[in-house]
Amino acid sequence: MAKAFLFSEFGSVDVLNVQELDVPLPGKGEIRLRQRAIGVNYIDIYHRRGVFAPKLPLPSGIGVEGVGVVVAVGEGVAGFYPGDRVAYVGGPPGAYATERNVPAARALKVPDGLSDDVVAATIFKGLTAEYLTHRCIDVQVGDNVLFHAAAGGVGSIACQWLKAKGARVIGTVGSEAKARLALSNGCDDVILYRKQDFAARVRELTDGTGVRVVYDSVGADTFAGSLKSLRPRGLLVSFGETSGPVPPVEIAQLGSLGSLYLTRPSIAHYTSDRKEFEAAGARLFSALLDGTIRPGEITGFALEDAALAQAAVENRKTVGSVVLKCS
């Protein structure tokens, strides 16, 4: 029997329940994994709260990524064999489990030299950082960039990558301890955005010009200031809403603030093509192996403590990445 977390109503961490269940044989195009480590992501919290439209049909599993060993292969699957160590991103939520079936199309073989914890900590967040910094916009040497929540999971990886690409990186963070971490992850300057007017500080730091790109996953609390932090023709990448949804935008505002660009990207649209997905995975694994990016702080919880892990992320208690470990 496998153990898996399910929830039958939307709400606080209390709705998460661990259950024993029989995993069916892998269906067409699926592989069955004995899981070793699972990444906890903010999207899991949105799913549990039911804030995304369309909401997940209930009861639902939870979790969008994991690392494990293939134990069975369904009909029509090519390139994966029992014993392969793989990581996956996407497919139906349900990663908080000891064993499960996942679409082979969402899996990548993991190279030797990267531990299960490191891969679980970085596969979803690292692939997000990859498309944000290389493909949503290909950040160039000398670009001024603002990254909100710079000490978080995605932020820690993205800031290292931006620095490696030669950008000048300004990070925002919620505490002094997070500021130290953001600086060690390549931020040139850090702003405590709960205490300081970050848009005004960005102007000071850029001699009044503003930045070429703002990466904003905080949403409601930061969106207006993010627009004000951009230079003319700059790009706002609004990729999350940890503080709440962004209010409707008046398009004319983009003109009056300097012919700005705005995008609301999703990792799904940057990894749905298999070739792009494999290339992004190869870029991430090679950046981890050659040290371009370090996995950063990883906080481990036992799978059984998934609710505690989510609460820590939700309450801004974590830095870097949180991983659930299967015993």
Interface with ligand NAP by CB under 6 A: which residues? 41-43, 125, 128, 149, 151-155, 173-174, 178, 217-218, 221, 239-240, 242-243, 265-267, 313, 316, 318
Nearer to ligand NAP by Cβ, of 80 and 215: the residue is 215
Nearer to ligand NAP by Cβ, of 26 and 281: the residue is 281
**How far apart are CB 83 and ligand NAP at their closest, in Å?**
30
Nearer to ligand NAP by Cβ, of 101 and 242: the residue is 242
Rounded to whole angstroms, the Cα distance separating 8 from 35 reads 23
Nearer to ligand NAP by Cβ, of 75 and 197: the residue is 197
Nearer to ligand NAP by Cβ, of 94 and 152: the residue is 152
Which residue minimizes CB distance to ligand NAP?
Answer: 152
Rounded to whole angstroms, the Cα distance separating 165 from 162 reads 5
**How far apart are CB 208 and ligand NAP at their closest, in Å?**
26
Give the 3-state DSSP-derived string for the chain, with helices as H, strands as E and coil as C: CEEEEEECCCCCHHHCEEEEECCCCCCCCEEEEEEEEEEECHHHHHHHHCCCCCCCCCCEECCCEEEEEEEEECCCCCCCCCCCEEEEECCCCCCCECEEEEEHHHEEECCCCCCHHHHHHHHHHHHHHHHHHHHHCCCCCCCEEEECCCCCHHHHHHHHHHHHCCCEEEEEECCHHHHHHHHHCCCCEEEECCCCCHHHHHHHHCCCCCEEEEEECCCCCCHHHHHHCEEEEEEEEECCCCCCCCCCCCHHHHHHCCCCEEECCCHHHHHCCHHHHHHHHHHHHHHHHCCCCCCCCEEEEEHHHHHHHHHHHHCCCCCCEEEEECC
**How far apart are CB 13 and ligand NAP at their closest, in Å?**
14
**How far apart are CB 237 and ligand NAP at their closest, in Å?**
9
Nearer to ligand NAP by Cβ, of 193 and 285: the residue is 193
Helices (runs of H) and strands (runs of E) counted in the chain: 10, 16
Residue whose structure tokens are 């919620």: 174
Rounded to whole angstroms, the Cα distance separating 126 from 119 reads 9
**How far apart are CB 167 and ligand NAP at their closest, in Å?**
19
Nearer to ligand NAP by Cβ, of 147 and 285: the residue is 147
Nearer to ligand NAP by Cβ, of 40 and 97: the residue is 40
